[in-house]
A and B are shown apart, each in its own frame.
Chain A
Amino acid sequence: MILIHCPYCDEKRPEIEFSYGGEAHIARPPDPSAQSDNEWESYLFIRANPRGRHNERWRHIHGCGRFFNAVRDTVSDKFETTYKAGEPRQ
């Protein structure tokens, strides 16, 4: 079971306290109605799904409840870092 560092609690906790939230840094367009069908499709469905380094969202759902971002290697399943929501991509 992976240990995940919650950047808000500043503590490593077992992964069962967390829930996964998909790829990070996909901001909801400020004016969705201005989006073309293709742009909206990209926002809704198109994800990078990389082999290796992946910026992704997690929520400390059974802890502080905060959403945060992480960099995880999808091959080794190791977390490189975690950082607070709103902070720049790492």
Chain B
Amino acid sequence: MSGYRLATGGRVDRTAPAQFSFDGQSYEGLAGDTLASALIANGVAVFGRSFKYHRPRGVLGSGSEEPNALVSVDRGPGRFTPNLRATNVEVHDRLTAVSQNRWPSLKTDFGAINDRLGMFLPAGFYNKTFMWPRSFWDKLYEPAIRRMAGLGEAPTEIDPDIYAATYAHCDLLIIGAGPAGIDAALEAAGTNKRIVLIDDQNELGGGALADPSLFEWLERSVKALVDAPNLTILTRTTAFGYYHDNFIGAVQRLTDHLPDGGNAAREKLWRIRAGEVILAQGAIERPLVFEGNDTPGVMLASAARVFANRYGVAVGRSVALMASHDSGWHDVFALAKAGEGITAILDIREAVDDVLLKQAADIGVAVKLGHSVIGVSGRHGVKAIEIARNDGTGKMLVSCDALLMAGGWTPSVHLWSQSKGSLRWRDDLGAYVPDKPNEKVRCVGACAGTWNFGSGLVIDELPTPKDQARIKAFVDFQNDVTAKDIRLAVREGFRSIEHIKRYTTNGMATDQGKTSNLNGLQIASQAMARPVTDIGLTTFRPPYTPQTFGALAGHAKDALFQPTRKTNIDGWAEENGAVFELVAQWRRARYFPKAGEDMHAAVNRECLAVRERLGIFDASTLGKIEVVGPDAAEFLNRMYTNPWKALEPGRCRYGLLLKEDGFITDDGVSARLAPDRFHLTTTTGGAARVLNMMEDYLQTEWPDLNVWLTSTTEQYAVIALQGPNARKLLQPLVQGIDLSAEAFPHMAIREGTICGIPTRLFRVSFTGELGFEINVPTAHGRALWERIMAEGAQFGITPYGTEAMHVLRAEKGYIIVGQDTDGTVTPYDAGLDWAVGKKKPDFVGRRSLARPDIVASGRKQLVGLLTDDPNVVLEEGAQIVADPNQPIPMKMIGHVTSSYWSATLGRSIALAFVAGGQGRMGETLHIPMPGKTHTAKVGGMVFYDPEGTRLNV
């Protein structure tokens, strides 16, 4: 191919040159050019190497259907975009593009050896060859295949660009602004509908941009549309997905076409809900299948016309046409009119309309009917074509530097099919067209199968006197699938196009078979001697063209990836050096290291401070639910395993919540404030789940109960004061509450004020020490915390984090739901029999506790483990075996759920699930870990103060 810029014509701005580079070489294009048109104008024919055979490839199409000319655009560090279609990349100053899938260079590519070895690389080659030995796959086959195959390279740096997103609502959404879409928009513009018109090109017009006779109409129409107040026009916008209820996803490219996008958003994701959708996506021309049809310089006839009339670029000096459809004739007539040299017109048909023959004669072009191209010479560009009569006789060479293919048209039914609209096969078009809609949507223009391109002959592959099993006639250019690959798949027994597609990879590349699916269907149909409609059609899925992750992610990255919930006291923790962890989206202080301390040292210090003096802990994240109403006690009695009706106001109770299947789902200490009012607490992570579950039962099972549930998690800041000095510190700060042990026992709640702030003061403990949990309105949390810190200095008050909290509770054998339980644990398994109301006739999950598998012996039960070597801290999750000498795979009888170093006890402690654990007290079990198998003795779960004397003071 020896393309060049035509002296006149096109919609490019000849007064606005743009300097760009491709593979390091500088070129000049014009404003309005695409990378494809500008490079063709500069005589470039080879744009890349093919996926599998590394064959040189040029431009096939002129828009989003392009399978061959994929390039990477480099806009600086982190701004490297691979796999862009050169036909869609707009040229601008300083555009830097590089070709892909070639090494060391586009011209000389070592991978091209695959092309010579092609007979050894048939369809399913990878599946067949690299199956064995299995061990070779990871180290040898996969890395080698990855090096050889593939498209552009993924960027490695973080994308520094910003991406916008918006919602839009309209009465009418029109997708595609070719003549059909523009007509629909003009018609609707006169109504009072809110209209959005989308097109993926930089200017409206679609096919009209390649037809100078329509330019005047186009200008007039576009002006009318721009002036219409009820119409929003989105250019450079691709509607990539059609979802339920007329919900359309589209990406608008905002800055990639500019030399300097500044700080503007690069792309914008539009989520559009439309009352009605009109699809005017047009049709895509089909290539013809023959040997050498992938040579650079062989392209779609309609594309050559676009290059001539829209970009003022000739694709060659002597252009030949291979047609099975009238439209190609009209295209070369247009080329001739634009000044391109036409060498020959070949048509597989024995007869065509006289009008075409006359027009061909008028421009003096040789016409050969009943002929086909049977070969192309030239590796990096067309030099000549070999042609023959359809019966294989009359072989001859025709010199040319470009060959156009006109194989008929395929309506773009992608979005229609995504909307689950049905399709109808039309033999005359050799294509599927929209049939019955599934949404409020209709197709207009070429995507509905209505066009004025003339008619054609539908064929699978051009006839050739050569051995079809030895030639490469490409069907899917991007994935290097040939006609013989598809026939091989049929011979090997594949019957459904879905299977043929996956076996041959036809239509599975980034272009999703826009130019290959129908040809693949025809070839399979012929090979099976069954009608196309018997073979099925592959599914159309979003996205229509590949979209950036940036556009889809939008703002949802880094700090905005998910919300970070912070307590009122979080700022204090941050200022005081807390190391944080995320728990159910809450940012929680894990520990407060002092200078020189690691986590181990900090946690040891924090634990000892609680046991010996006084610790302070931000427990604000605990889930809280206010349960109010005359039937509140009855409701809780039905929800929780233990009895609630007799709980006196002012007292607390540990509540254990099961699901109906009998397994523990949550727990927490709750208080009765009044006969009709409870303050529930849940686990930090379970708050929303528990509220939802309770609402479910209340609304759907027991609507007769008069109870109201309100989430109050974020309404209270909660400060836990734990340690022998807790009461001493609180005494002077609290008003209206008698803190004495007699008046305010363990597991009680009192209301009063603290430092003048209204409080719900719980006397509860998750550490085993004398403890209080001070609930105050959230806004007062930090002020109160700071006041207590100041007052507590005399007692050596020490802030502690979640890690110390975990250790302290494990020393007391308190479980954490979700860590020491896993959704298959009953109260009995967890040693919580005492929390099950045996006399209650019913509660959620009760019946399941009597199911045969639940009462069977040998279930895993929660026990304590003490390692024989007190310095060994077992790994959480480590498996437990009874006999370490048994052959591998060993019988695993349980696993470690919690394991810590206990500074208080000066040794390690662990909780574990062990089959029949409660019957194994005193047994030695074995825990294989990397490097060594450790031994540990089974015991009770309470390691510290089993009598609870420290609590009840």
Contact = CB atoms under 8 A, between A and B. Distances in A.
B246 to A, nearest CB: 9
Contact of A19 (B438, B692, B700, B846): B692
A53 interface: no
A61 interface: yes
B243 A40 contact: no
Contact of B848 (A27, A44, A78): A44
A74 to B, nearest CB: 14
A76 B420 contact: yes
Interface string A1-35: 11100000000000000010100000110011101
A8 B40 CA distance: 62
B822 interface: no
A50 interface: no
Interface in B641-670: 660-661
Contacts of B851: 37, 40-41
Given A1-B245, A2-B245, A40-B851, A85 B420 contact: no
Given A27-B701, A76-B438, A65 B695 contact: yes
Contacts of B870: none
A27 B702 CA distance: 10
A21 B692 CA distance: 10
A8 to B, nearest CB: 11
Contacts of A59: 692, 695-696
Contacts of B846: 32-33
B842 interface: yes
A35 B700 contact: no
B563 interface: no
Contacts of B245: 1-3
B847 interface: yes
Contacts of B271: 1
A31 B843 CA distance: 10
Contacts of A86: 703
Nearest to B438: A76
A61 B689 CA distance: 11
Interface string B822-838: 00000000000000000
A76 B244 CA distance: 10
B848 A40 contact: yes
B847 A67 contact: no
B450 interface: no
Interface in B270-328: 271, 273
Interface in A53-88: 57, 59, 61, 65-67, 76-78, 85-86
B847 A35 contact: yes
A1 B243 contact: yes
Contacts of A65: 695
A16 to B, nearest CB: 11
Contact of B695 (A2, A33, A67): A67
Interface string B680-714: 00000000000010011001110100000000000
A21 B699 CA distance: 13
A31 B840 CA distance: 12
A85 B848 contact: no
Contact of A44 (B247, B420, B660, B692): B660
B901 to A, nearest CB: 41
B841 interface: yes
Contacts of A33: 841-842, 846-847, 850
B244 A77 contact: yes
12 contacts: A1-B244, A1-B247, A19-B692, A31-B842, A32-B847, A33-B842, A37-B852, A59-B692, A59-B695, A59-B696, A65-B695, A66-B699
Interface of B: 243-245, 247, 271, 273, 420, 438, 660-661, 692, 695-696, 699-701, 703, 841-842, 846-848, 850-852
Interface of A: 1-3, 19, 21, 27-28, 31-33, 35, 37, 40-41, 44, 57, 59, 61, 65-67, 76-78, 85-86
